[in-house]
């Protein structure tokens, strides 16, 4: 049950799982991001913030898919920015399970748990002192 796989490979697999969550979130909300970049409406998140969130998401995906520790740095900007400014959930469709008045709370809890998981994952990766060689 996964015990024969070395822990370093499991940690890299978990890192790639975080990258998949970010990719799913970007793909799921691409039309909202394009709309925010196309129009500068009052009351909407400024275009520069949306660009920074999009760039940090893409850079985090690249770093995490490659199994590099530097991919966590843009991820730590991406998760709070997506939560606070754009109100996207990193794990899609779960906020829809709750009533509409609890969507914001569900998004904050889900993204907070993903952020906590990513911090613990980075700490585990730094603890093992694993250097990926190619």
pLDDT, tens digit (0-9, with 9 covering 90-100), for 64-101: 888 888 889 999 999 998 888 888 888 878 877 888 88
56 versus 134: the higher-pLDDT residue is 56
- For residues 112-117, average pLDDT: 92
Which among 31-35, 38-42, 101-105 has the top mean pLDDT?
101-105
Residue 33 contacts residue 47 (beta carbons within 8 Å): no
Residue 112 has pLDDT above 90, yes or no: yes
Under the banding of pLDDT at 50, 70 and 90, the label for residue 113 is very high
Supply the mean pLDDT for the chain: 80
Distance of CA 40 to the CA centre of its chain: 25
Give dist(CA 14, CA 103) in Å, integer: 27
- pLDDT over 90 percentage in the chain: 20
């Amino acid at each position: 049950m996964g015990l024969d796989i070395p822990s370093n490979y499991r940690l890299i697999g978990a890192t790639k799982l975080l990258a998949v969550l970010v990719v799913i979130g970007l793909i799921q909300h691409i039309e909202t991001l394009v709309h925010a970049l196309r129009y500068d409406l009052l009351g909407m998140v400024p275009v520069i913030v949306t660009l920074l969130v999009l760039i940090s998401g893409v850079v985090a995906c690249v770093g995490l898919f490659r199994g590099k520790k530097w991919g966590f740095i843009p991820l730590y900007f991406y998760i709070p920015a997506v939560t606070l400014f754009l109100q996207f959930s990193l794990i899609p469709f779960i906020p829809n399970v709750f009533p509409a008045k609890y969507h914001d709370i569900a998004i904050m809890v889900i993204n907070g748990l993903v952020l906590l998981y990513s911090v613990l994952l980075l700490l585990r990766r730094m603890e093992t002192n694993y250097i990926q060689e190619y």
